Amino acid sequence: MTAQAGLAGRDRLMLRRDTFLIDKEIIDVENEAQQRQDIKHSSHGDLSAEALREYVGLLRNCKDFLKSGEELIELEEETLDPVHILGMKADIALISSIAGIFLTILLFAYEGYQNSGFEYQEGWFMVSPE
């Protein structure tokens, strides 16, 4: 893993943590806005229920911004440090080729076993073809 890929992973975790904290704040503010309609006390100062809803909208915009940053990091990871199979960048063509080779080897092994002349007769014995 390259140093830049390690930083991208760390940044992704930081963005996910911040997104989680924003989600928690949104839930808290929405609950307070609901209660604010019923009572006249708020831990966010003298904000009205409408101001709290605007604050929730701002928090949701921030959350969307963080998610787009996470998507950019994911794209960067796929471009800079993609998954490799046998030293080559893993894409659908390479995966299909390797799966095809593996299946071919299995079929040749099965066919070789079927035509080998081995038979099971209370144990494995070599039977000469007649």
For the chain, domain boundaries? 3-81, 88-126
pLDDT at 118: 60
pLDDT tens-place values along the chain, 130 residues long: 455 556 767 887 888 888 888 888 888 888 887 776 665 555 555 567 778 788 888 888 888 888 888 888 887 777 776 667 667 777 788 788 889 999 999 988 888 777 766 665 555 555 554 5
pLDDT at 116: 67
Q: Provide DSSP, the chain.
A: --HHHHHHHHHHHHHHHHHHHHHHHHHHHHHHHHHHHHSS--TTTT--HHHHHHHHHHHHHHHHHHHHHHHHHHHHHHHHS--EETTEE--HHHHHHHHHHHHHHHHHHHHHHHTS-EEESSSEEE----
pTM: 0.48
